[in-house]
Structure 1
Amino acid sequence: MLSNFDKLCGELEKQELEAPNGIASPSTYAQLLAIYLYQNDLCNAKFLWKRIPPNITGSNPEIAAIWAVGQKLWKKDLAGTYQALTAYTWTEPVANIIRALEEKIRDRAFNLIGQSYSSISIDTVILMTGLTKEAVLHACRDRKWVVGDDGFTVNPTPPMQPAPLHTSSEDQLFKLTEFVSFLEN
């Protein structure tokens, strides 16, 4: 199922392709660039940035601010990403995409922490999530992570992975038989 951003991305790409003289509106470019970042499609974001006409990038500080976020994501600089996200006052409709982007980056950071660390300092979690200490402690408790007695360390638990769907041997044999029969006929 496509998300609203996936549908909007398709519409914006179409607008860009069908734009008169091949130049879309700054709003189209800004939204499309933000959606590519939301989708973690950094390559398309970079190519879009390179094809936006210089007069638009130079006269539209919001597009430049979105690309500043993209550059931080490209370099995997989480702390810098959060700084770039809060350094600009976003306008609608880009603000909705940026809020969703920030949530998604934060969720990915928490998942990464859960998968990668058995113990981590609160300060590192703050840097990786861009949250305040109180918000980090609250988020850790929500995830059932153990906060050390010293108040400076967290012991995360790995995120729950969906159980793989197992099929019985008989089901697999039946499917294989059907496939071979199809190929023979």
Structure 2
Amino acid sequence: MQQDKYSELLNKLENDELENISPGAELYQQLMAIYLYQNKLASAKLLWMRISNNLKENNKELAQLNLLNLALQHNKYSEFFKYIKYEWSESNKLIIDDLLFKQREELLNLTSSAYVSIYEHNLLQMTQMTPDELKSACLGWTREQDGEEHIWQPKIKEPTPSIASDDQLLKLTEFVSFLEN
């Protein structure tokens, strides 16, 4: 499982950070990327605070990772998708690709549970995807024409069956009367 793989790497990197007097930028980059993937935004923020100013100023990839963290902290998905379009180093590319896939999936799930329909241009702006990428990501959704606009309608999820409060109260009353007798 991908999460387990990153957990082992995270433990190794955290130990390396503790053991080294002055860890390099690549170690911090990987730590930050894994924290973002695992949605440990507070850990990523604390990591940013303990990185030396010299490394922050001289390493653009660290600054870019911090921008991703800030966008996620403030739930600004369009900024996140704008900042993730960057030429990442080979050591971080796989983690960032997984993060991108995970965040897009999360945004589409959130959108599908919050909206009955959404204009395509709004969805494209939020996800920062091309129309072809959006079509492949929204396979279960239906697409309709509204004049010149395209509207996406998410697949309706069946609500989980819940027991009504009256039914629960009746069962509780029966159980209490059984215990009393």
* Same fold, TM-score > 0.5, yes or no: yes
- The equivalent position to 1:106 in structure 2, one of 88, 104, 107, is 104
- Are residue 147 (structure 1) and residue 109 (structure 2) matched? no
Aligned residue number for residue 6 of structure 1:
7
Q: TM-score, normalised by structure 1?
A: 0.78
Could you say which residue in structure 2 is the equivalent of 1:124? 122
Distance 1:11 1:159 in 2: 40
Shift of 1:110: 0.9
Cα 1:110–1:84 shift into 2, 3 Å: same
Q: CA deviation at 1:160?
A: 7.5
Matches of 2:100 and 2:35 in 1, distance apart?
A: 13
2:31 aligns to what SS in structure 1?
A: helix
> For residue 29 of structure 2, what is the aligned residue in structure 1?
30
For the pair 1:45 / 2:44, whether they are aligned, the reply is yes
CA RMSD of aligned residues (A): 2.1
Distance 1:162 1:67 in 2: 38
Aligned length: 158
Cα distance in 2, alignment partners of residues 95 and 120 from structure 1: 31
Q: Show the counterpart of 1:92.
A: 90
The Cα of 1:14 is off from its aligned counterpart by: 1.0
The runs of at least 4 aligned residues of structure 1 exceeding 4 Å deviation read 158-163
Q: What is the identity percentage for the equivalent residue pairs of Structure 1 and Structure 2?
A: 32
Q: Tell me: CA distance 1:47–1:124, structure 2 relative to 1, closer, same or farther (3 Å).
A: same
Secondary structure (helix, strand or coil) at the match of 1:93 reads helix
Measure the CA separation in 2 of the matches of 1:157 and 1:48. Answer: 40
Cα drift, residue 6 of structure 1: 1.4
Partner of 1:58: 57
Distance 1:162 1:62, change over 3 A: farther
| Amino acid in the other structure paired with 2:109 | N
Distance change in 2, residues 1:145/1:73 (3 Å): same
Q: Aligned partners of 2:133 and 2:28: how far apart in 1?
A: 33
Superposition deviation, residue 47 in structure 1: 0.4
What amino acid is aligned across from residue 147 of structure 1 in structure 2? R
CA distance in 2, matches of 1:160, 1:24: 50
Deviation sequence 1:98-151 (CA, Å, 0-9, x none): 1111111101011111111111111121122221123213322x2x21111335
Displacement of 1:91 in angstroms is 0.8
Structure 1: tracts of 5 or more residues without a match: 164-185
CA-CA distance at 1:18 after TM superposition: 1.3
CA–CA distance in structure 2, aligned partners of residues 51 and 139 of structure 1: 38
Q: For residue 137 of structure 2, what is the amino acid of its counterpart?
A: A
Paired letter, 1:105: Q
Q: Any residues of structure 2 matched to 1:12-23 within 5 Å, and which?
A: 12-19=13-20, 21=21, 23=22
Partner AA of 1:103 in structure 2: F
Q: Could you report, residue by residue, the CA deviation over 1:59-107 in whole angstroms, capped at 9, with x for unpaired residues? A: 1111111111111111211111111111x31111111111111111101
